[in-house]
Amino acid sequence: MMSQQISKDTIYKIREEVLKGKSKFQVSKEFSVSPETVYRYTKDLPNKIKRQPYISGKSLELLKQLLSDGFVYTGKNGSRLRSLQRFFPEIKRSQYKNKSIYYLEDKNKLALLEMMKHNKSRIVSFQDLSKMSKVFGANLDVKQKRGFLGKNLKPKRYKIKKYQIQHKSNSKEKQSKIDDFFGRFLHSEQL
């Protein structure tokens, strides 16, 4: 399709509108010329002025939750969280047993504890906790690990009981009962 012939003044106005930020399609509608004509005279210009990136909508809500709680579970928001991660390198992501969580770099221990609560049925040993803490780059002390696994009780220490023979009245009573029994037994045989 051939492009329309238009005046130099109209070409200048078309270029000016495109530079102001209007799309080439919008300009073609305003000047009642075909889009091909506008593209022909503005092919050296960008389509739209690039603006500074901004965050709005669901991404903004996720960012607010991330700032208030320190972590956000991925769920269906993976692409939004990845785009936030591009703008904010302080946002980190960790995954453990097919569950992922985004968290702020300085809140890694908080995110680890939250992930442990979420995966409580899957964590059964100190080894699992060690693996998970390595994923998050956080160190848990033994007391916290035991508390999470429900093994916070002190280890049992078995005491060896010493049996002492007591020669008090209690043992004398037992001995007298035994003697009495044997005495009756012996007398009954002799009779």
Of 47-51, 123-127, 128-132, 158-162, the range with the highest mean pLDDT is 128-132
Q: What is the mean pLDDT of residues 64-70?
A: 87
pTM for the model stands at: 0.48
Whether the pLDDT of residue 22 is over 60: the answer is: yes
Residues paired with 102 in a beta bridge = 72, 93
Assign 30 a pLDDT band (cuts: 50, 70, 90): very high
The pLDDT score that the predictor gives to residue 33 is: 92
Is the predicted pLDDT of residue 66 greater than 80, yes or no?
Answer: yes
Least-confidence region, from 34-38, 65-69, 81-85, 168-172: 168-172
Report the percent of the chain where pLDDT is more than 70: 72
**Do 120 and 113 contact (CB within 8 A), yes or no?**
no
**Domains of the chain by residue range:** 8-42, 58-149
Confidence band of 1 (pLDDT split at 50, 70, 90): very low
Of residues 33 and 52, the one with the higher pLDDT is 33
